[in-house]
Amino acid sequence: ETGVTQTPRHLVMGMTNKKSLKCEQHLGHNAMYWYKQSAKKPLELMFVYNFKEQTENNSVPSRFSPECPNSSHLFLHLHTLQPEDSALYLCASSQDRADEVTEFGPGTRLTVL
Amino acid sequence: EDKVVQSPLSLVVHEGDTVTLNCSYEVTNFRSLLWYKQEKKAPTFLFMLTSSGIEKKSGRLSSILDKKELFSILNITATQTGDSAVYLCAVEAYYNTDKLIFGTGTRLQVFP
């Protein structure tokens, strides 16, 4: 059982909806990440938080808004998404850096209608 | 632009076969190369390679890095159906220790 949990596991939303994805880790890690995996594309890094501070925003559109209230929780707020945003959204954590053993969550399968 | 290219994109073999997966990269200030196995959803960590010529092994899996020729291979011997997965290669660069650049992955299917 992974130490990183994500909810919901599946989400279907319309383009005008507002929803949030939640990620939680109980590993004592200091770094947390949001990744997007679309079909037939490389895994894309979206956001990085280290000690609750955002250290990277990988040119992600503003309709995706991350929030990290503490080092164990990470949210991804979604607003006015497009159908091309449909993908698997993976949360991950590592002790401090991305090249350390990174634990991934099970992902949220998002479908935007 | 930094990039990671994996080949083949897809591979179908029978149980007992040996497979070699390739990962080549072009990255400024290379730091490390990582292999992940992705089944169904979340990738799981396999190996991290930082030095050339030093093979890392875990059971039937092994991997080696060539920093001169800028590539790595992942070998799986005596494949089993449980090895069926997407194998992802990722590279980290020195200028940003928070960033991993992923390849598209190799989809391996092992049939009985």
The label of the residue with tokens 């607003």 reads A79
Rounded distance between C-alpha atoms, residue B18 and residue A99, angstroms = 28
Q: Inter-chain contact A41–B104, Cβ cutoff 8 Å?
A: yes
Q: Are strands B43-49 and A108-112 parallel, antiparallel or unpaired?
A: unpaired
Q: Could you list the mean pLDDT of each consecutive 10-residue stretch along chain A, which spans 113 residues?
A: 82 92 93 84 83 80 94 95 92 74 79 92
Q: How far is B68 from chain A (nearest CA, A)?
A: 21
Q: Are strands B10-14 and B106-111 parallel, antiparallel or unpaired?
A: parallel
Q: Which residues contact B16 (CB under 8 A, 6 or more apart)?
A: B78, B79
- First vs last C-alpha separation in chain B: 41
> In the structure encoding, which two tokens stand for residue B75, read together?
């070998």
| pLDDT value of residue B23 | 97
The torsion defined by the Cα of A35, A38, A39 and A40, in degrees rounded to 10, comes to -70
Q: Inter-chain contact B104–A31, Cβ cutoff 8 Å?
A: no
| pLDDT value of residue B64 | 96
| pLDDT value of residue A101 | 59
Ranges of residues in chain B with a pLDDT under 70 are 40-42, 95-99
- Residues from chain A that touch B102, judged by Cβ atoms under 8 A, are 42-44
Express each pLDDT in B50-66 by its tens digit: 988 889 999 999 999 99
Listed by number, the residues of chain B in 54-83 with a beta carbon closer than 8 Å to a beta carbon of chain A are none
Query: For chain A, how many helices (H) and strands (E)?
Result: 0, 11
> In the structure encoding, which two tokens stand for residue B78, read together?
């005596």
Count other Cβ atoms within 10 Å, centred on residue B69.
9
Any A CB within 8 A of B94 CB: no
Nearest to A94, CA basis, from A15, A18, A3: A3
| pLDDT value of residue A92 | 87
| pLDDT value of residue B42 | 63
Q: Inter-chain contact B45–A56, Cβ cutoff 8 Å?
A: no
- Residues from chain B that touch A48, judged by Cβ atoms under 8 A, are 98-99
Cis amide linkage into residue B43, ω under 30° from 0: no
A interface with B, Cβ–Cβ below 8 Å: 2, 4, 31, 40-45, 48, 50, 55-56, 58, 88, 90, 97-99, 101-102, 104-107
| pLDDT value of residue B40 | 65
Can you say how many angstroms the Cα of residue A16 is from the centroid of all Cα atoms in its chain? 20
Q: Are strands A103-104 and A87-94 parallel, antiparallel or unpaired?
A: antiparallel
B47 neighbors B34 (Cβ within 8 angstroms): yes
Nearest to B38, CA basis, from A53, A102, A5: A102
Rounded distance between C-alpha atoms, residue A21 and residue A74, angstroms = 8
Q: How far is A48 from chain B (nearest CA, A)?
A: 7
> In the structure encoding, which two tokens stand for residue B98, read together?
């928070």
- Residues from chain B that touch A58, judged by Cβ atoms under 8 A, are 99
